[in-house]
Amino acid sequence: MLLEKASSVLKRISHAAMRVDRSPDEIELVAVTKTVPPERIQEAIDAGLRIFGENKVQEAVQKIDYFSELGTIRWYFIGPLQKNKAKKAVELFDLIESVDSLELARRISTYAVELNKIQPVHIQVKLGGEETKHGVLPGEVDRLVDEVWDLPNVEIRGLMTIPPYYEEPEGARPHFRRLREIRDSLCNRGYAIRGLSMGMSHDFEIAIQEGATEVRVGTDLFGRR
Ligand SMILES: *Cc1c(COP(=O)(O)O)cnc(C)c1O
């Protein structure tokens, strides 16, 4: 059953990519496993999925430990990160997607130096006003990127956003486009930042049309939480 869901999501990713002349290989599928127990994650691994997203450090600890012998699995942190959990997050995650303040980035940097690790991060951008709580405002991205770029052992790989929910997925398109424009303007300022983490079960096809390099899918793989 999970195998069917995974193939269906992968097929939708391919179709969306091909419609806009993109290669499906440019797009990572992150299977969002918050609230999903290890047995079901194992099914996802059996179905060929390799990248998993968690939004709570505490919940992720045991799962990551459970699968630690399988060297090929990658774990992305996609939830709001409390500063006192930053150290654990650096220990555990291949990518931290929710950096939205210099203070948090500094903590990550400090622990990454201690652990002798280069920590890939995304900058989370708040689009669409009040409804989304976390993320840096578009007007503040340039400054945050300037500051975080210079921190040791932190590598900005991309931008991430969670747009407001729209009944009609098309509603999210302007936000996805905006994130891409922000990314492009960073590139024009000389930053080699490529990643665009945007799109969830409801709207990832639109996000792919607007340039997503990573989609985060929970419900369409594991069912309603
Ligand atoms: C839960 C979650 C997702 C997955 O959402 P679905 O609608 O279940 O696909 C993606 N991104 C973040 C940050 C999440 O918290």
Mutate to test the pocket of ligand 1, among 5, 59, 78, 97 (most ligand atoms within 8 A of CB): 78
Exposed, middle or buried: residue 81 (CB in 10 Å: 0-12, 13-18, 19+)? buried
Show the CA angle centred on residue 26, arms to residues 25 and 29, nearest 5°: 80
Q: Is the full-model pTM beyond 0.95? A: yes
Ligand 1 centroid to residue 197 C-alpha, Å: 11
Q: What are phi and psi of 154, to 5 degrees?
A: -120, 130
3-state secondary structure 43-105: HHHHCCCCEEEECCHHHHHHHHHHCCCCCCCEEEECCCCCHHHHHHHHHHCCEEEEECCHHHH
The token pair at 56 is 């709570």
Across the 225 residues of the chain, what is the mean pLDDT of every consecutive 10-residue run? Answer: 96 98 97 96 96 97 92 95 96 98 98 98 90 86 98 98 94 97 98 98 98 98 92
Ligand 1 centroid to residue 80 C-alpha, Å: 12
Ligand 1 centroid to residue 21 C-alpha, Å: 26
Predicted pLDDT at 128: 83
56 lines ligand 1 (CB under 6 A): no
Atom of ligand 1 nearest to the CA of 220: 9
Of 189, 182, 117, 176, whose CA–CA distance to 149 is shortest? Answer: 189
Atom of ligand 1 nearest to the CA of 216: 10
Predicted pLDDT at 132: 61
